[in-house]
Amino acid sequence: MNEGLVERIDALLPQTQCTRCGYPACLDYAHAVAHGDADINQCPPGGQAGIDALAALLGRASKALNPVNGVEKPLEVALIDEEACIGCTKCIQACPVDAILGASKMMHTIMANECTGCELCIAPCPVDCIAMVEVGDEPAPARAAHYRARYVARNARLVREADEHAAALAARKREIDARDAPAASARDAVAAAIARAQAKKTGRRK
């Protein structure tokens, strides 16, 4: 499959990374559409305009949004009831574009200008302090490039942090191994001496 087609399909998607299409990200959905594994009407944030655009690109007949994937609605963003927030960080971990600020056991807040309205932060919240609020009629595709850039940046951050964590663990292991090396050598020496003594006793018995 031509990767250029995947890119053109992805360029028509709203980049909310909401997973309502049944795929983990907009690019994954673009791949599925390009390969014929997904239909063009599975993206609620893109709405009917998005479906029409995909149909035109692919030379297919347009169709209505599949209700299994959701409904088309005005752009919404998440809002945290800061007085109820317990600082668990679960919403931060769920946000695909790093639109939530906060730290463990501290109040969180959502940057409305960066929120894609994906709703992925709602389910993990243990105190139900997150709600969606309508912010106007601006369609999500108008900010698609910005959302995509933030999603890519977040993924790069997660990879970098994972690499740093692995490097720190490896360094700690080397430190422990180096600290324990003299004791291990002493134990080996004692074990070798015991083995020699036992071998001599066995030889005298023969």
pLDDT (average), residues 61-72: 97
Number of domains in the chain: 2
Q: How many CB atoms lie within 10 A of CB 197?
A: 10
- Which of 50, 69, 88 delimits the end of a domain? 69
Mean pLDDT for the stretch of residues 140-154:
87
Average of pLDDT values for 186-198? 73
Q: Is the pLDDT of residue 206 over 70?
A: no
Is a pLDDT exceeding 70 seen at residue 143? yes
pLDDT at 198 over 80: no
Q: In CATH, what number is assigned to the domain containing residue 36?
A: 1.10.15.40
Q: Is residue 168 part of a domain?
A: no
Is residue 81 domain-resident?
Answer: yes
CA-CA distance, 64 to 54, in Å (whole number)?
12
Please report the pLDDT score of residue 70 as a whole number: 96
CATH of the domain at 129: 3.30.70.20
Phi, psi for 130 (deg, rounded to 5): -115, 130
Q: Tell me: pLDDT of 141 over 70.
A: no
Q: What span, in angstroms and rounded, lies between the C-alpha atoms of 84 and 112?
A: 18
What pLDDT is recorded for position 180?
Answer: 66
Q: Give the domain range for residue 98.
A: 75-136
CA dihedral sign, ordered 184, 188, 194, 198: positive
- Closest by alpha carbon to 52, among 60, 139, 44? 60
- Please check whether residue 184 lies inside any domain of the structure: no
Per-residue pLDDT at 154 exceeds 80: yes
- Distances in Å between the Cα of 89 and the Cα atoms of 167, 173, 181, 192 are 24, 29, 40, 53
Q: Rounded mean pLDDT of 134-143?
A: 67
The per-residue pLDDT for 190 is 73
Nearest C-alpha neighbor of 147 from the set 81, 79, 77: 77
Mean pLDDT over 69-91 rounds to: 94
Q: Are 13 and 64 in a shared domain?
A: yes
For the cut 80, the answer to whether the pLDDT of residue 31 exceeds it is yes
φ, ψ dihedrals at 79, nearest 5°:
-135, 130
Look over the chain and give the mean of its residue pLDDT values, rounded to a whole number: 89
Decide if pLDDT at 178 tops 80: no
* Predicted local distance difference test score (pLDDT) of residue 195: 74
What percent of the chain lies above the pLDDT cut of 90? Answer: 70
In a domain, 48, yes or no: yes
pLDDT (mean) for 59-75:
95
pTM of the predicted structure, to 2 decimals: 0.79
Band the pLDDT of 188: cuts 50, 70, 90: confident
